[in-house]
Amino acid sequence: MANLFIIAAPSGCGKTSLVKALLENSKNLAVSVSHTTRKARKGEIDGENYHFVSKQTFADMIDNNDFVEYAEVFGNMYGSARSNIIEKLDSNINIILEIDWQGSRQVKQNMPGAISIFILPPSKNALLERLTNRGQDDKDTISKRMANSEREMSHYNEFDYLIINNQFDSALNDLKTIIDDFGNNIKNIELSLENQLLRHKYLFKELI
């Protein structure tokens, strides 16, 4: 039986890179393509990057309870359609939702069987270094991103599993292990929230 996985992380924790590598090394696994009201950017393909729809269409989908989660971001709406997820699950394809903790909370309410995974940095200094090394933002923007990441990290206890992205390959293996174990009807204990809190209690004191 296929499963729905929620993967969330603060900015700078490597979520996008991990999911991309995971897709390259896994079978029967896909990322849910979100609906959005924003205009397509150059090079983006409808149905591949996003399902681009009008504000009215999006509003109608909300009224019809078509989304398992949705949110407004910088004036545009984004949402994950229930029908797209169920279609893939019925085809025995595991689905990944790359969303934030607020989206995760919505999905858990609408699809209680979803498995949630939260990715954390090995330290605040490591997170700051990663955000700085991107070379995309000025100091003020980096400070705001750090503050936002700290707020997001405070919601770690709403997730089923925690992964510490210290070494990329190790974090990728942990992510793959969780998904593979569910495919074999095994609930991974080692990477569960409870166990990770015990193993990394000093890290959580520093991060949160």
CATH number for the domain that contains residue 140: 3.40.50.300
pLDDT score of 208: 79
pLDDT at 205: 86
State the Cα–Cα distance between residues 107 and 180, nearest whole angstrom.
21
In-domain check, residue 180 = yes
How far is residue 156's CA from residue 162's CA, in Å, rounded to a whole number? 8
Q: Write down the residue that tokens 């991990």 correspond to.
A: 18
Domain interval for residue 105:
4-32+93-207
122 part of a folded domain: yes
Residue 169 lies in a domain: yes
Give the per-residue pLDDT at 138.
84
Q: What is the pLDDT of residue 139?
A: 86
Query: What pLDDT sits at residue 1?
Result: 82
Please tell me the total count of domains within the chain. Answer: 1
Is 70 a domain residue?
no
Structure confidence at residue 104 (pLDDT): 96
In a domain, 119, yes or no: yes
pTM of the complete model:
0.92
Residue 66 confidence (pLDDT)? 97
* Per-run averaged pLDDT (10 residues), the chain, 208 residues: 94 92 92 96 94 98 97 94 96 95 96 96 92 82 89 94 96 96 90 95 87
Any domain includes 179: yes
pLDDT reported for residue 27:
84
Please report whether residue 42 resides in a domain: no
At a CB cut-off of 8 Å and minimum separation 6, what does 38 contact?
50, 52, 76
Nearest to 117 by CA among 59, 179, 72: 179
